[in-house]
């Protein structure tokens, strides 16, 4: 667990991992937390947040977007601190109705605890966090309702999963338009004077140009081949499912692929493989890429 340096007073970044999104914590008149990690990492989230609050309370919790690795601790933190919860306007309907398809929950074999929000953050709105102005900007692509938060004065961008140092969050093959939206988000970032990016995963970084070109190259490759995009989406979902459980038997992992609708739908639409071969094909590719290992019928994330 590390804290990033080079940040304005009162702003801390708690760098987590690929399963739990990073947290940003503002300690000021209002103590504000951005993103709450995954449900399975909740004990660490609570400990790290409470250690830094050091007896103070949390007034507000806000999300960059509402995927299971960013909102998994919302319900628990809300109970613990009675904090207000703010989510992007574009996520409101799906969270209110707990639309597990739009939230990528059972649709993609993921889980999160249901929570209620107090208000939404609209695109273009400016929030006062940590004594600084943060403007909410549209960050569609990986998630069509996502926002990023930009502080012009400090040149800091809280990018969520719209931009990481070497990539971006998975873009769905269906509905279409995700890649084009992701590209527009990158183009928007390129117009900002960004000194430091605080990504949803990975350590904060300064070289925005390099990150943007890596993302464009990745989008070019995916755009050229819809089957590749579909496979890439499914492989990300499968490795996330294994990561979420720490390890899985091959039989359990196969059951996830058979049960979560995204696998069947993408296979029917894009891959057109015999259904019983889909799991083996995905697993083999993930093993070859070094993302997962398989031994004695157990699958583990590559350490």
Closest separation between CB of residue 264 and Zn ion, Å?
Answer: 22
Q: Based on CB atoms, which residue is closest to Zn ion, 31 or 38?
A: 38
Please select the residue that binds Zn ion; options are 73, 169, 178, 301, rule is CB under 5 A. Answer: 169
Count of other CB atoms within 10 angstroms of residue 86: 20
- By CB under 5 A, the residues from 9 to 68 that bind Zn ion are 67
Q: Based on CB atoms, which residue is closest to Zn ion, 181 or 278?
A: 181
| DSSP state letters, 206-273 | S-HHHHHHHHHHHHHHHHT-HHHHHHHHHHHHHHHHHHHHS-EEHHHHHHHHHHSHHHHHHIIIII--
In terms of C-beta density within 10 A (0-12 exposed, 13-18 middle, 19 or more buried), how is residue 184 classed? Answer: middle
**201 counts as binding Zn ion under rule CB under 5 A:** no
Which H helix or E strand runs over 79? helix 74-81
Q: Based on CB atoms, which residue is closest to Zn ion, 67 or 235?
A: 67
Closest separation between CB of residue 19 and Zn ion, Å?
Answer: 12
* Contact letters for Zn ion, residues 63-92 (x by CB under 5 A): ----x-------------------------
Closest separation between CB of residue 249 and Zn ion, Å?
Answer: 27
Closest separation between CB of residue 170 and Zn ion, Å?
Answer: 8
Contact 244/38 with Cβ under 8 angstroms? yes
Q: Which residues pair with 119 in a beta bridge?
A: 86
Please select the residue that binds Zn ion; options are 161, 172, 179, 279, rule is CB under 5 A. Answer: 161
Q: Based on CB atoms, which residue is closest to Zn ion, 19 or 282?
A: 19
Q: Where are the beta strands (DSSP E) in 10-110?
A: 11-15, 23-26, 32-34, 60-62, 84-88
Residues near Zn ion, by CB under 5 A: 67, 161, 169
């Amino acid at each position: 667990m590390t804290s990033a340096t080079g940040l304005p007073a009162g702003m801390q970044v708690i760098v987590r991992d690929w399963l739990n999104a990073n947290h940003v914590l503002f300690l000021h008149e209002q103590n504000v937390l951005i993103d709450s990690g995954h449900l399975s990492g909740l004990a660490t989230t609570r400990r790290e947040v409470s250690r830094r609050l050091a007896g103070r309370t949390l007034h507000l919790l806000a999300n960059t977007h509402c995927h299971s690795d960013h909102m998994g601790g919302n319900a628990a933190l809300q109970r613990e601190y009675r904090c207000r919860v703010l989510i992007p306007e574009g996520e409101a309907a799906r969270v209110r109705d707990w639309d597990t398809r739009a939230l990528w929950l059972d649709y993609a074999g993921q889980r999160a605890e249901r929570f209620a929000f107090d208000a939404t953050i609209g695109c273009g709105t400016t929030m006062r966090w940590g004594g600084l102005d943060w403007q909410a900007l549209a960050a569609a692509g990986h998630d069509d309702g996502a926002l990023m938060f930009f502080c012009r004065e400090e040149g800091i961008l809280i990018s969520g999963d719209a931009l990481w140092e070497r990539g971006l969050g998975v873009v769905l093959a269906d509905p279409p338009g995700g890649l084009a939206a992701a590209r527009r988000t990158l183009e928007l970032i390129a117009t900002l004077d960004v000194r430091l990016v605080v990504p949803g995963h990975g350590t904060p970084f300064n070289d925005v140009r390099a990150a943007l070109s890596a993302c464009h190259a990745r989008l070019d490759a995916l755009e050229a081949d819809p089957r590749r995009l579909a496979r890439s989406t499914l492989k990300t979902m499968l490795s996330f499912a294994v990561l979420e459980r720490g390890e899985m038997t091959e039989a359990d992992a196969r059951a996830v692929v058979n049960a979560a609708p995204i696998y069947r739908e993408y296979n029917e639409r894009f891959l057109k493989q015999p259904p019983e071969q889909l799991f083996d094909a995905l697993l083999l590719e993930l093993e070859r890429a070094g993302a997962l290992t398989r031994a004695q019928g157990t699958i583990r994330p590559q350490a």
